[in-house]
Structure 1
C-alpha cells in the first residue's frame, strides 16, 4: 500500500474525519474504519462471525499480551487470515521492532482488495499504537496528526506513555526512510562509481609501488670515487 500525497486541505479533512458521528460509550465494543480497508477495535468485535462478514473483513491482526493468549486468540482461522502478535501491554514493550511485520501484513491484504481488522483486548492502547504508526506513514503525517486522526474515528483510544513515546520516535524513522528512498538514484550511482574509480586509482598506485625497486639496479651509473676523500 503506497503512501498517499495530499494537499493541506485534504490532509486536514482526513485528520478531522467525519464530523457527523456522535460517539456513544457502547461504541467502545465495536470496531471503526480508520481508513479504507483498515478497521480498529477491541477483541470482542472479532468474536462475532456475522459481524466480521457484514464488514467484509478478510484479514485480522490479533495483538495480545502473552498472558491473554488463552482467551484472546484467532477464533475463525478457517474464515480469515490472521497475524498474531504476542506482546506485553506495558510501557517497556518495543512496538517499533514489531511494526514492520504488521505493516507488511496490512499492506499486502489491502493491496489484494482485502479489509483488515486490527484489535487487541480492549482496543484502547496496544492496537491503536500500531494503527497510529500505520496511518502516520501512509498519509505522511506528524505523530500528532496521526494520533488525532485515529482518535477522531475511535474516540476512546489512549496509548500508554511508553507507546506514545515510540509513536513520536517513529515519525523520525519513517521520514528518514522516505528521505533515503527519494535520494536521486543517479547521484547515488555517481557516488558509487567515484568510489570505485578511487579504489582503482589506489590499486594502480599500489601496483606501481610493488613494481618500483627498493634499491638501485646494476645498470645505473656508479662512481667508484664517490666515497673517496682527499
Structure 2
C-alpha cells in the first residue's frame, strides 16, 4: 500500500487544536510512539505507549494493525478520533526517516480508520505549550515515595498482596522496548524500595498463601488456591486453567475451566498446548474476566504456560516473560524440558519473522502451532 503523503500532510494537528480536542472529547485514542523510557518519564495524559522495535515495524507495515496487542486494537476500535505522536516531527512528508514509527503507524491506522491525525511538533512542542495536559511520571513517583520501575502506576487487584522482589530481573526494564511496553500495559505496580525486602522464609510463606498477580486478568497459583472457594470468590476469578493430571476442577458448576493433562516430568510436553492455553487466557481477558492458572505447586507447569502466554499474546521474549513471572512468583522454576520447549517456541516465532522479512508468508501474531 503506497503512502499517501498528501493525506498525511492534511492530517497534521496543531498543539492548540489537539489540546482543545483532548479537553473536550472522551472518545480519543492517543498513541505515544516514542521509546518506552521517554514515555515512562512523561507523556500526554491518557496516551498509550506503543514503542515498536524495527522488526515489529516491518510486521506492521506488512500486516497492518492486526499484529498489535489486543488492548491497543480495542482502543482503536472504540475511538472516534485517533492521534499519534512521536518526539518532535513537524512534517511527516519531509521526514528524513522514510520508515519511522510515525509514518508506518499512520499508514497502518489510516487503512482501517477515518479520523487519524499526527501531532505536529510531537510531544516536545505540546509539552512546552500545554504542560498541564501532560503527565510527568518520574516526579509523581518521587513525590509519593514509591517506584513502579516503569510499570503503570495503576493499583493491582485489591485482594492482591505482592510478595515478589522489589526490582525486576536484570534487563527486564531496560531491553526490548516492545516487551517493556507490553509489560507496562499489564497495569501492575511492583513493590517499592528495599523496605519491602523479606527473609526467604517470609517470602515463601507469603507466596504460598496468595497467588501471584501477573496481570489484571491473570493470577498464578497452586492447587491450594484453586480449591479455596473463599479465595476464588474474593479474587473475582471467573475461569481456571488447570495444568495437571491430578487436580480436580473444584468449581466447574460456576467457573469456566480448561485442563491440560500433563505431568511435571522431564519427558512431558507442554508445547502442544501453548497456543490453546494462550487463546483461553486471552478469551478471559477479552470477556473482562479473571483467570487463575495453576498446577499442583505453581512452580513448574503453570508458570511455563504463563510464560508462553506472554510470548504469544504480548510479543515478549522468553527472557523478558520469564523475568516478569519470576518477579511476581520467585518460587517458580520450570523444569529443564519445559524451558527447552519455550526456547523452541521462541525460535519458531523468530524463524517466521525472518520469513516475513524475506518476503514469505507472514505470521499472524499468536498463531504458532506445535
TM superposition score normalised by structure 2:
0.44
How far 1:177 sits from its partner (Å)? 4.9
**Cα shift readout 1:22-73 (whole Å, capped 9, x = no counterpart):** 5621133221111220110111001111111111100000111x3x2xxx11
**Cα shift readout 1:159-181 (whole Å, capped 9, x = no counterpart):** 01111111111112234456678
Q: Secondary structure at the match of 2:330?
A: coil
TM superposition score normalised by structure 1:
0.68
Matched, 1:37 2:217: yes
Q: Map 1:10-159 onto structure 2 (within 5 A).
A: 11=180, 14=183, 18-20=190-192, 22=197, 24-29=203-208, 30-64=210-244, 66=245, 68=246, 72-159=247-334
How far 1:9 sits from its partner (Å)? 8.6
Higher CA-based Rg = 1
Matched, 1:166 2:341: yes
5+ residue gaps, structure 2:
1-66, 73-175, 362-370
Aligned residues: 181
- RCO greater where, 1 or 2, for CA within 8 Å and sep 6 or more? 1
How far 1:91 sits from its partner (Å)? 1.8
- In structure 2, relative to structure 1, the CA distance for the partners of 1:103 and 1:182 (3 Å cut) is farther
Measured on the aligned residues, the alpha-carbon RMSD in Å equals 3.1
**Cα shift readout 1:138-171 (whole Å, capped 9, x = no counterpart):** 3322211111110001111000111111111111
CA–CA distance in 1 between the matches of 2:261 and 2:179?
36
5+ residue gaps, structure 1:
189-230
- In structure 2, relative to structure 1, the CA distance for the partners of 1:179 and 1:109 (3 Å cut) is farther
Map of 1:3 onto structure 2: 69
Q: Secondary structure at the match of 1:98?
A: helix
